[in-house]
Amino acid sequence: MDRSSLRPPLRPLVGVTACLKENGRGGWHHTVGDKYVRAAIQAVAALPVLIPAVGPEFGEDAAAMTEALDRLLDSLDGVLLTGSPSNVEPYHYGGEQSRQGTAHDPARDATTLPLIRHALDRGVPLFAICRGLQEVNVALGGTLHQLVHEVEGRRDHRSPKSSDIDVNYGPAHDIEIVEGGLLHRLLGERRVQVNSLHAQGVDRLAPRARLEAVAEDGQVEAFSVPDAPGFALALQWHPEHRALENPVSKKLFDAFAAACRSRAASRLVPPMRAAAE
């Protein structure tokens, strides 16, 4: 018997982006919400790898940053861009200065924006959630509304701020899915219900992005990047919450997982064998 056939499949390595936050004691923490780690483990069947917010360490040395990102991405089978309470700093997209008290994370911006461009160009599967969607849009030349609820005609997309997490992440509104797009192919539906926990949102969609879904008020809820060599999908809502219990979330994570497994398999083919084939 070939005992190798009895081994469980190797878990793909999925990079999970982190935020940099003060710990209240004069220090800083690179943090990732447990729900994203659990989604990577349970819904993607992956081994999550923390990507710390280290962009500022490279300063203006673009070559060093490029080398570091390329080495990192060579070792990963996918990238999961997480949500966060912080806003992308508006100077990255030519926006007006934020209001006083707005949460920002410049270290994360300096890490994720170049990471996104490199991951897309190298065909590394990319799944972006909430702030992650906003980062992808900015990284590719799009712009953002800092306060969607103050835009004429838009609803309040912020969460209820309940002490019950299931209330905060509960269904909030329908989205209309673009016919024939990636999201439509993955879900097989034109309308689904999603949660909503964001103040910032897409204003002008990036040139490389393809619209995949909008809310009933016209706010962008999903887009893909068709010219990327690999899987690339960005969602404004939070599918990671109870991902295995939600049929829509499960289909989306299944698609990302399949792309990650495919990359893992191609990375593990010995170079000489690959050349022979």
Q: Choose the catalytic residue: 130, 135, 198, 241.
A: 130
Q: What is the pLDDT of residue 61?
A: 87
Catalytic residue list contains 238: yes
The mean pLDDT value for 14-25 works out to 93
Residue 270 pLDDT more than 60?
Answer: no
Residue 269 pLDDT more than 80?
Answer: no
Task: pLDDT band for 274, please (50, 70, 90 cuts).
Answer: very low
Which residue is listed with tokens 């923490």? 29
Distant-in-sequence, close-in-space partners of 214: CB < 8 Å, separation ≥ 6 = 175, 176, 220, 221
- Could you report the per-residue pLDDT of 117-158, keeping only the tens digit for each? 999 999 999 999 999 999 999 999 999 999 999 999 999 999
Helices of type H across the chain: 34-38, 62-74, 106-121, 131-139, 165-168, 182-187, 247-268, 271-276
Produce one character per residue of 39-62: b if its CB has 16 or more CB atoms within 10 Å, e if not. Answer: bbeebbbbebbebbbbbeebeeee
DSSP helix, strand, coil percent of the chain (3-state; round to 5): 40, 20, 40
Between CA 197 and CA 173 the distance in angstroms is 11
Between CA 81 and CA 234 the distance in angstroms is 9
Q: What is the pLDDT of residue 7?
A: 57
- Could you report the per-residue pLDDT of 22-75, keeping only the tens digit for each? 888 888 999 999 999 999 999 999 999 999 999 888 888 889 999 999 999 999
Q: Choose the catalytic residue: 19, 238, 241, 260.
A: 238
Distant-in-sequence, close-in-space partners of 226: CB < 8 Å, separation ≥ 6 = 182, 208, 210
- Could you report the per-residue pLDDT of 160-182, keeping only the tens digit for each? 989 999 999 999 999 999 999 99
Between CA 49 and CA 203 the distance in angstroms is 31
Residue 272 pLDDT more than 50?
Answer: no
Between CA 139 and CA 47 the distance in angstroms is 26
Inter-residue contact 206 to 137 (CB < 8 Å)? yes
Q: Choose the catalytic residue: 89, 135, 221, 240.
A: 240
Catalytic residue list contains 67: no
Q: Are strands 232-235 and 220-224 parallel, antiparallel or unpaired?
A: antiparallel
- Could you report the per-residue pLDDT of 205-251, keeping only the tens digit for each? 999 999 999 999 999 999 999 999 999 999 999 999 999 999 999 99
Task: Output phi, psi for 105, to 5 deg.
Answer: -145, 75
The mean pLDDT value for 198-208 works out to 97
